Amino acid sequence: MGTVRDLRAGRSNQPWIDFLDNEIATADPQTTRHAIAKIFRRSLFSTRGCLPSDAALQLDTYYQETYLPSNPELKDQDDKGMVAFLAGLYGLVVDLMFYIPYHHGLQYTLIDFLYELRHLPPKEIKFEGETCLIYEEEPVLEKMMNEKWEVNNPITKDEPDPEELEKKCSAWVNVSAFAARCIEAGFADHFKEKCTIPCMDIAKALEEDHPPGIKRNCLIRVAVQYIMIAGAKICQQKIGKAKTEEQQMWLGKWKIWAEKLLQLAEQNELEPGLTSEVREAHGTMVALQPRLFKFKR
């Protein structure tokens, strides 16, 4: 699991449904991933829909009433089997995001679902010798997102087929937008690396020269999503009050990135939809650090 697959089932306009149905049909029924796919399919992604709070409760009930009783040895473990359980949950969520378009409201539905998990009665576990709260302060989400980033990044791989490359790049934009929403929602506030991956992707798009084409469009669109959605968080965590040498360094990068976005917008060589997003991202950067930019009256 964990790579973008070609799903050619009937609902071409709902590939996320095809993905879940395929998971249910092919995954090992004894795995957490299979059980969570079924919960998602009959709740958040059913024809009748479901409140994210209800889906969160269903998931927690499955852990308490099915997962633990089926594996009684877990009760004696420090993490109560929760690390493996969360790996199944977050792995499925992130894989699902490859199929949900970056501008689709279902991305926010999954963010709301993760919010609701944090509103459940808190549970403490021990992980790698440290006590942490599940859903809120545990490191599993960070590790899972980092793994997906390393495995699925289409920019670092050679893909000779333009159609396949475009599909993988589109999926990469989708999952990057979701990562940005996780940052904006505060889910990454306790991450050790925090905004490292977004800043790497933004820098690659806006500090390096790339020939026109699918990869360049992908890089720019990923950078734009991080800036528009999570720009305030990135600015806060990397620049802060701009008092330290490192914060000043990031402030300089902020100006370089904004100027590159303005250049791209004014050149008007990108596809129309991307050009408008680039302009919006530039406006976001200026609004977050207005003193950096001088305007002619």
Does residue 261 belong to any structural domain of this protein? yes
Q: Does the pLDDT value for residue 148 go beyond 50?
A: yes
145 and 204 both lie in a single domain: no
pLDDT single digits (tens) 165-197:
999 999 999 999 999 999 999 988 877 677 889
Last residue of a domain, one of 103, 133, 155: 155
The 3-state DSSP class for residue 131 equals strand
Residue 254: closest CA among 289, 221, 280 = 289
26 and 106 both lie in a single domain: yes
**Section 150-164 average pLDDT:** 84
133 and 235 both lie in a single domain: no
150 and 28 both lie in a single domain: yes
Last residue of a domain, one of 104, 128, 155: 155
Does residue 172 belong to any structural domain of this protein? no
Split into its structural domains, the chain has a count of 2
Whole-prediction pTM value?
0.91
Last residue of a domain, one of 155, 180, 204: 155
Which residue range forms the structural domain that includes residue 117?
Answer: 1-155
The 3-state DSSP class for residue 130 equals strand
217 and 131 both lie in a single domain: no
Does residue 290 belong to any structural domain of this protein? yes
Q: HSE-up of 189 (CA within 13 Å, CB side)? A: 10
**Section 145-166 average pLDDT:** 86
Q: Which amino acid is at 40?
A: F
Does residue 200 belong to any structural domain of this protein? yes
Residue 201: closest CA among 247, 248, 149, 161 = 149
pLDDT single digits (tens) 103-147:
999 999 999 999 999 999 888 888 888 888 888 888 888 888 888
Helix ranges restricted to H, the chain = 15-26, 32-42, 52-62, 68-70, 82-97, 106-118, 140-152, 162-184, 196-207, 214-238, 245-267, 272-288
Residue 99: closest CA among 230, 213, 9 = 9
199 and 150 both lie in a single domain: no
1 and 134 both lie in a single domain: yes
Does residue 11 belong to any structural domain of this protein? yes
